[in-house]
Amino acid sequence: MTMAQQLGAAMDETSTVRAVAIDYKAVLRSPGRAHDGVADFLQWLHDHDIAFVLLTSDSIDAEATLRAAGLPAPALHLCRDDIPGRPARGSGAWLLSVADHLKLRTNQLAMVGTSEWDWRTGINAGVVYIHARWANHVRDNKNMRTLSADEPAGVGELLEHFLLDEPRWAFSHDDDARSFKIRSLLPPNVRFPQAPGRTFELQDVFTRGRTITVGSQDARDILMLRLLSSAYLDGTLPHRSLFCVYPSSSPGQVSQQLAGFLTKAKVMVGSYYREDLLERTGQAPDTSLERWRRSRGEASTADISIGAQARTVRINPKYKGKVKGKTVVVFDDFTTEGKSIEWARTLLTSAKAEQVIALTIGKYGASRHTAYQLRPGTTVDPFQVSYHLAATNFVTTSVTGAAGPGPDDALKATMSHFIAAAQSTD
């Protein structure tokens, strides 16, 4: 067994990034000359037991070339001749070969590259791609949407704060019988640091729509990136899936906080964002507002049952035939008992989706979730509004999922890091 295989065998049980594949041009600016900061970054990878993989188009003596630049040898070096079929860069086969050599899953890899073809190599393998802006002779292609770093240490920052912590959830449940998974990142009452002496809560961002700046970062982006990276590491962010957002209570609207992030982040693992896949056709009660009113003891006659969702939400008819056989990832800000995401599941499975995954930022009600199944003999056309449905048309089953605090401690540390980093540059 080679050193790389031994390394891979030891790493395989973890659910974090265990190897970083780096394009040659992100390591060396010319033969014998490394980019500034690369040596320190490769040492950082070594200190964190993360394998360094070098990718080159042509066959080279990688160990001698890197030694001449004062850099360590890679755990693995692959060139085009080493990839079955000798595909050009852009093919996911490059990273599939990396995973095979190291005996890792593709979601235990990250790729650092310098061109559109490197980016396509990542997304075509379903591997997180980080663009090396420090290789400044290479410019972003206008169609690229990627994570990026201005210097090698920035890659380490992304890895440390989003991809090296085992995924943790406030709530998770796998329902294999219904091809349905739920992941909720955090309990709703967590407060995070915004600045010295100031904090914010999830509702400030996702319910009240405020822009919260943490250091120089948008709090929305930090939270959403943690949600996506956790699902990536967890294996619940499949390659080539469809992303959508569950619609807001008013017709034609979705959460702009969720949509604004997903418009760019859809390519994190080569997925597709369809903002209008699920559409609200009529006004429905604002469940967040109704939940708040009832928590204050205020009387309310608003119907917040699954029937209210069924009578106002459908799949946009333009997607007829385009959901069949797909994995659809439905994003929502918060869930309580799951009426909205259960109705989304009902619609999408009725349209022959192969699997539905619900990802939410927050979870009310700890481990409580209710599974809704249409009663025998009850049918729906997922592309039409189901005016005939009421809560009584569903059989309900109480579900207890896995519950915990989620990654609130790690996220607080991440936000404190960004606050300190901003202060150090003032």
CATH number of the domain residue 128 falls in: 3.40.50.1000
Q: Where residue 3 falls among pLDDT bands split at 50, 70, 90?
A: very low
CA–chain centroid gap for 73, Å, is: 32
The domain boundary residue, chosen from 110, 145, 163: 163
The backbone region for 11, taken as left when phi is positive above 0, alpha when psi lies in -120 to 50, beta otherwise, is alpha
419 occurs within a structural domain: no
Quick one: average pLDDT of 140-160?
84
Quick one: average pLDDT of 163-179?
96
- Among residues of the chain, what percentage have pLDDT more than 70? 89
Domain that holds residue 367: 171-408
**Residue 65: helix, strand or coil by DSSP?**
helix
> Do 377 and 396 belong together in one domain?
yes
What's the rounded Cα separation, in Å, for the pair 323 and 315? 10
The per-residue pLDDT for range 285-313, each reduced to its tens digit, is 666 665 655 556 665 555 668 999 999 99
Bridge partners of residue 112, in order along the sequence? 22, 130
3 occurs within a structural domain: no
What's the rounded Cα separation, in Å, for the pair 169 and 361? 10
Q: Is the predicted pLDDT of residue 401 greater than 50, yes or no?
A: yes
Quick one: average pLDDT of 182-206?
94
Residue 207: its pLDDT value, please?
86
Q: Where residue 146 falls among pLDDT bands split at 50, 70, 90?
A: confident
52 occurs within a structural domain: yes
What's the rounded Cα separation, in Å, for the pair 200 and 421? 19
Lowest mean pLDDT among 5-14, 57-66, 260-269, 363-372: 5-14
- Asked if 342 contacts 371 with a C-beta cutoff of 8 angstroms, the reply is yes
Residues 6+ apart with CB under 8 A from 312: 251, 280, 281, 282, 283, 284, 385
413 occurs within a structural domain: no
Residue 301: its pLDDT value, please?
55
> Do 95 and 183 belong together in one domain?
no
Structural domains counted in the chain: 2
Among 22, 103, 406, 9, CA closest to 234: 406
What's the rounded Cα separation, in Å, for the pair 58 and 75? 18
> Do 191 and 302 belong together in one domain?
yes
What's the rounded Cα separation, in Å, for the pair 42 and 48? 10
> Do 245 and 307 belong together in one domain?
yes
**Residue 285: helix, strand or coil by DSSP?**
coil
**399 φ, ψ (degrees, to nearest 5):** -120, 135
**Residue 407: helix, strand or coil by DSSP?**
coil
What's the rounded Cα separation, in Å, for the pair 251 and 148? 35
> Do 324 and 365 belong together in one domain?
yes
Residue 142: its pLDDT value, please?
56
365 occurs within a structural domain: yes
Quick one: average pLDDT of 144-149?
81
> Do 122 and 49 belong together in one domain?
yes
Between 266 and 315, the more confident residue is: 315
Q: Is the predicted pLDDT of residue 10 greater than 80, yes or no?
A: no
> Do 297 and 394 belong together in one domain?
yes
Can you spell out the DSSP letters for 218-279?
EHHHHHHHHHHHHHHHHT-S-TTPEEEE-B-SSTT-B-HHHHHHHHHHGGGGT-EE-TTSEE
- Asked if 107 contacts 122 with a C-beta cutoff of 8 angstroms, the reply is no
Token pair for 2: 């080679």
> Do 105 and 253 belong together in one domain?
no
> Do 345 and 394 belong together in one domain?
yes
Residue with token string 């540059």: 425
Residue with token string 């329902």: 175
Can you spell out the DSSP letters for 309-320?
HHTTEEE-GGGT
What's the rounded Cα separation, in Å, for the pair 234 and 221? 19
Quick one: average pLDDT of 224-240?
92
The per-residue pLDDT for range 262-280, each reduced to its tens digit, is 877 766 777 888 999 999 9
- Among residues of the chain, what percentage have pLDDT more than 90? 74
416 occurs within a structural domain: no
CATH number of the domain residue 216 falls in: 3.40.50
204 occurs within a structural domain: yes
Report CA-CA distances (Å) from 424 to 59, 156, 201, 215, 418.
Answer: 43, 18, 25, 10, 10
Q: What is the mean pLDDT of the chain?
A: 90
> Do 155 and 182 belong together in one domain?
no
> Do 271 and 321 belong together in one domain?
yes
Can you spell out the DSSP letters for 159-176?
IIIIISSPP--SEEEEEG
Lowest mean pLDDT among 60-64, 298-302, 312-316: 298-302
Residue 2: its pLDDT value, please?
46
> Do 150 and 227 belong together in one domain?
no
Residue 292: its pLDDT value, please?
55
Q: Where residue 260 falls among pLDDT bands split at 50, 70, 90?
A: confident
